[in-house]
């Protein structure tokens, strides 16, 4: 039997809440249920701080943070109570601090903070929120209260 990963993924824009709702509806039709969300969006737009435009500043935050939050809200509606995963992809750019990326640093730092906060807020509902970059402040991972049971534990 072919795996769900062999099927084509729905595609679409994710600029507005309605776009994201449509994408999730299509994914649910294609796969039956949603049990993981991988947020991976970014903009590479280098500019020295003094030359950075307001548009660049807003674009980084919108693409990397606002859309992540909208997609996460929609995913949480789809998850059931058995425990699921949200993975937020982040770079280590804001950890190494190269010059010319102040707007990106701000957005990537926000992604990490959002990931840690979601781990605390959604953990009691058995929803994990973890970073993929491996550079989180608590040992490379956002900690949630949800931990899967081992098969040897009593249910």
pLDDT at res. 70:
92
Q: Which pLDDT score, from 0 to 100, does residue 138 have? A: 39
pLDDT for position 117: 93
Tabulate helix, strand, coil % of the chain (nearest 5). Answer: 50, 10, 45
For domain 34-145, give the fold. Answer: Rossmann fold (3.40.50)
Contact predicate 118/71, CB 8 Å:
no
Sketch the domain layout of the chain as residue ranges. Answer: 34-145
Rg of the chain, C-alpha, whole Å: 17
In a structure prediction context, what are the per-residue pLDDT tens digits for the chain, which is 155 residues long? Answer: 344 444 555 555 677 889 889 888 988 888 888 888 888 877 777 778 888 888 888 887 888 888 889 999 999 988 887 878 999 887 766 566 677 777 777 777 888 889 999 999 999 988 988 887 644 443 344 444 444 444 444 43
Q: What is the pLDDT of residue 96?
A: 67
Distance CA 87, CA 104 (A): 19
Structure tokens at 123: 């953990």
Q: Is the pTM of this model over 0.85?
A: no
| Calpha distance 9→110 (Å, rounded) | 28
Asked whether the beta carbons of 36 and 84 are under 8 A apart, the reply is yes
């Amino acid at each position: 039997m072919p795996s769900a990963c062999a099927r084509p993924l729905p595609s679409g824009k994710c600029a507005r809440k309605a776009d994201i709702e449509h994408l999730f509806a299509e994914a649910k039709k294609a796969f039956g249920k949603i049990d993981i969300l991988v947020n991976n969006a970014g903009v590479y737009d280098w500019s020295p701080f003094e030359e950075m435009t307001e548009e660049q500043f807003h674009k980084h935050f919108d693409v990397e943070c606002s859309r992540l939050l909208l997609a996460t809200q929609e995913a949480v509606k789809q998850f059931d109570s058995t425990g699921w995963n949200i993975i937020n992809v982040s770079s280590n750019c804001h950890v190494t601090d190269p010059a010319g990326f102040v707007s990106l640093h701000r957005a990537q730092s926000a992604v990490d903070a959002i990931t840690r906060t979601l781990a605390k807020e959604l953990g009691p509902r058995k929803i994990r929120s973890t970073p993929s970059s491996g550079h989180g402040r608590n040992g490379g991972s956002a900690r949630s209260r949800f931990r899967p049971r081992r098969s040897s534990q009593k249910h």
